[in-house]
Amino acid sequence: METPVICHVISMKHINLMNDNSRAVFYKSYGKHIFCNIDSDPPKADIYFLDCFIKNFDKFKSFKRPYPRSKIISLIHSSSVCMPSIFSDEIVVLTDAWKTKLLKKGFDSVVINNSIDSSLYKYDIDYKNKNFGRITRFSNKKVHPKFDKIVIHVLNDVPKSKCIMFCRDYENKPDHPRFIVDDTIEIHQHEKKAKKLSQLSILADMHNTFVEVFPMGLLESMASGHCCLLFSQVKQPSMAEVIGDAGIWCRTVKGFKNKLTELLNDVDQKKEYGLKAKERAKFYTCLLYTSPSPRDLSTSRMPSSA
């Protein structure tokens, strides 16, 4: 069968800003690709792969079949406000939780989990260190407003502790007196990112109201071998699905602060959870992926839970 031509339709103007991991499950498998922006007229192709970010999600929802024999595949990976084209032949989601969410809206979908190259996360974690933090974008939706106060208390209560935030949003980088902000990691610098993440012993992830479709930063921390401590102001079923029982959930702000303080001083507990997280992350390694048939997307290629 002749390799189909895929037109990768995106909502961003700059293709080099895209995160490869979010779409490698498709476009690295199929072969020949062309790209276009949702605001431009799409060139002729066999498959239109709709890769929707927050921007212009309404245009993706109304995207129609450009040619009679073309196929429309929608990938929901970036935001809870993004919806698939109502003319989609296939809809791909990254977790079982999002499959359930879309079913309630009348859309059936196939689950193809996101993935990482876990072999990059080879650097040893020193669980004796008292560094905590995460990869983040500094915004009201991504960082809980009470996290700052928690950091101040923890740094005062735990000698030699540090909070390191690996920032991917340069324009909104804060001048923060408490965080050590490292903004030297580009999106595609996976090896460099893996090495830097080894500076932490704890992922301390405190969400506000932002709902994760797939928690890539959490998965990277799991693969690194971090003890993962999580809090969210709203329900995060995708995060719960990915972490399973390999991390710790806190339901109150006070509980999060107290547990973080406890973990920083407990080497054995950090190591135990770190090794569990690293093992669970293997379920999401791209090394397990096989190339799908463009005409057979009826089953997931990866288990979504341990």
Predicted pLDDT of residue 132: 96
Average pLDDT, the chain: 80
According to DSSP, residue 9 is labeled E
Residue 83 or residue 241, greater confidence: 241
Q: Are 115 and 25 in contact, with CB atoms under 8 Å apart?
A: yes
* Triad 125, 130, 136: Cα angle to 5°: 80
Residues 6+ apart with CB under 8 A from 51: 8, 9, 10, 11, 18, 22, 23, 75, 77
Mean pLDDT of all residues in 84-88: 89
Predicted pLDDT of residue 84: 86
**What is the spatial order of strands in the sheet that 6-10 belongs to?**
33-37, 6-10, 47-52, 71-76, 90-93, 110-111
Whether the pLDDT of residue 239 is over 90: the answer is yes
Residue 107 or residue 183, greater confidence: 107
Predicted pLDDT of residue 175: 56
Q: How far apart are CA 57 and CA 175, in angstroms?
A: 32
Q: What is the pLDDT of residues 249-293, one digit of tens each?
A: 999 999 999 999 999 999 999 999 999 999 999 988 875 544 333
Model pTM score: 0.83
DSSP string, 103-154: HHTT---EE----B-GGG--PPP-TTS-EEEEEE--STTTS-TTHHHHHHHH
DSSP string, 29-67: HH--EEEEETTSPPPP-SEEEEEE-STTHHHHHT---SS
Q: How far apart are CA 193 and CA 76, in angstroms?
A: 25
**Tokens linked to 82:** 């993004």
Going 194 to 198 to 203 to 207, the CA torsion angle's sign is negative
The residue among 150, 105, 168 whose CA lies nearest residue 264 is: 150
Per mean pLDDT, which range of 32-36, 62-66, 155-159 is the poorest?
Answer: 32-36
Mean pLDDT of all residues in 21-46: 69
Residues 6+ apart with CB under 8 A from 68: none
Mean pLDDT of all residues in 113-117: 81
